[in-house]
Amino acid sequence: MQAIRFTPETLSNEAMRFTSKISAGMETLKQVDDVHFGVTDKEEIYAEDKLVLYRYQGDKKPSAKVPTLIVYALVNRPYMVDLQEDRSLVRNLLAQGEDLYLIDWGYPDRADRFTSLDDYINGYIRRCVEVICKRHGLNKINILGICQGGAFSLCYASIYPETVQNLITMVTPVDFHTDDNMLSRWTRSMDVDAFINANGNVSADMMNFCYLTLKPYRLFHQKYVGLAEILDDQRELENFLRMEKWIFDSPDQAGEAFRQFVKDFYQGNKLVNGGLVIGDKAVDLARVSMPVLNIYAEQDHLVPPSASKPLEGLVGTKDYSVLAFRGGHIGIYVSGRAQREVPSAVHQWLAKRSS
């Protein structure tokens, strides 16, 4: 039996439909203004250099006694956690009564070329935690680290365990040397010293190019062919454009921090192998003694589950939980399933450990 069952006429008609979709979509596109994101009100609590610490303001007063600090990755903008009204991890957690803070790292420029992991972890994160503790009269708070921010949170929790009540890591790489980790394979052979010496900071374009070439045919081509299908749906189109903006609205990476991250995490795999030192402080995951919830995405091509799951065997806590989400690295924030499953799981886990 032949696999192809269409005729030249159906082919021609399909081409015509495709073109018609695009032509009809022109009108939709003309009606679309700049896309907006970050739907939840937030208050600026603390600022330092380009960093701003925000506290989200929900519709009701938080019922949680211990606030949670969201530590996002440096490589994208944190508004992914609050993208739009019906796709917001923040909004859903607030609705459950959580009290949320978020670090916005800003957009590093050449003046931040020498900002290091020591600055990020022992400086910025530590001071943000101090600010929140002081505001609430607490000695410790919850931390929710996302992706690279999860790796930072693990380092922070290992160095300052006395300040972390509960630790949640989402799509967080821990073992950088698993076989299916394409990014890791690519970065292991590169001379990152020469790369940073030559480039200073790492431009957003370079970062994006690297990510897109993980799945080049889908992300450079197929995605835009698929766009034709939703062109006549303004809401869907706006969702697409919002996501597109988030993907490419990327900060440059501070050179020194990038150098250290690639060397110690991607190349040295020191979270697993040991020997990681941030500034003058040693990181040992065995010191992560507070309750830990590790959430990973089963179809994550950026942080494969195999990179995240080994956390269980490395942390010192006896209270370790895991949530396997059916979706990808982005879907874990924005998919309908994520809205239903992730915030409630996080809230319930925290609620059991609120005392």
Instruction: Find the length of the chain.
Output: 355
Unique residue bearing structure tokens 């009606």: 31
- Residue 85, interface with another protein (CB under 8 A)? no
Size of the site for another protein (CB under 8 A): 74
- Residue 8, interface with another protein (CB under 8 A)? yes
Q: Residue 347 corresponds to which tokens in the numbers above?
A: 């809230």
The residues facing 297 across adjacent strands are 325
The gap from C-alpha 59 to its chain's centroid, in whole angstroms, comes to 25
In sequence order, what DSSP letters do the residues of 119-179 get, joined into one string? IIIIIIIHHHHHHHHHHHT-S-EEEEEETHHHHHHHHHHHH-GGGEEEEEEES----TT-T
Looking at the Cβ atoms of 21 and 135, the one nearer to another protein is 21
Binding flags for another protein, 173-202, as an x/- string (CB under 8 A): ------xx-x--xx-xxxx--xx-xxxx--
The DSSP element (H or E) to which 117 belongs, if any, is helix 117-117
Looking at the Cβ atoms of 32 and 282, the one nearer to another protein is 32
**95, 228, 247, 351: which one contacts another protein (CB under 8 A)?**
228
Unique residue bearing structure tokens 């900060």: 251
The DSSP element (H or E) to which 318 belongs, if any, is none
- Residue 47, interface with another protein (CB under 8 A)? no
- Residue 224, interface with another protein (CB under 8 A)? yes
- CB half-sphere exposure, 86, CA atoms < 13 A: 7
CB of 26 to another protein, least distance (A): 5
Looking at the Cβ atoms of 59 and 179, the one nearer to another protein is 179
Give the SS3 label for residue 79: helix
Looking at the Cβ atoms of 23 and 273, the one nearer to another protein is 23
Looking at the Cβ atoms of 31 and 63, the one nearer to another protein is 31
Cα angle at 47 between 280 and 113, to 5 degrees? Answer: 50
**41, 63, 136, 209: which one contacts another protein (CB under 8 A)?**
209
Binding piece for another protein, criterion CB under 8 A, among 61-69, 166-174, 211-219, 324-332: 211-219
- Residue 139, interface with another protein (CB under 8 A)? no
Binding piece for another protein, criterion CB under 8 A, among 115-123, 160-168, 281-289, 309-317: 115-123
Contact 22, 225 (CB under 8 A): no
Looking at the Cβ atoms of 235 and 352, the one nearer to another protein is 235
Touching another protein, residues 247-306 (CB under 8 A): none
Looking at the Cβ atoms of 101 and 266, the one nearer to another protein is 266
CB of 286 to another protein, least distance (A): 27
Contact 236, 230 (CB under 8 A): yes
| Exposure string for 315-339, b = 16+ CB within 10 A, e = fewer | bebeebbebebebbbbbbbbbeebb
- Residue 213, interface with another protein (CB under 8 A)? yes
**131, 133, 227, 351: which one contacts another protein (CB under 8 A)?**
227
- Residue 30, interface with another protein (CB under 8 A)? yes
Instruction: Give the phi and the psi of residue 149 in degrees, each rounded to 5.
Output: -65, -25
128 catalytic residue (yes or no): no
CB of 112 to another protein, least distance (A): 8
CB of 22 to another protein, least distance (A): 6
Query: Residue 283 and residue 275: Cα distance in Å, rounded?
Result: 7
- Say which of 133, 147, 155, 210 is annotated catalytic: 147
Hey, which residues are catalytic here? 147
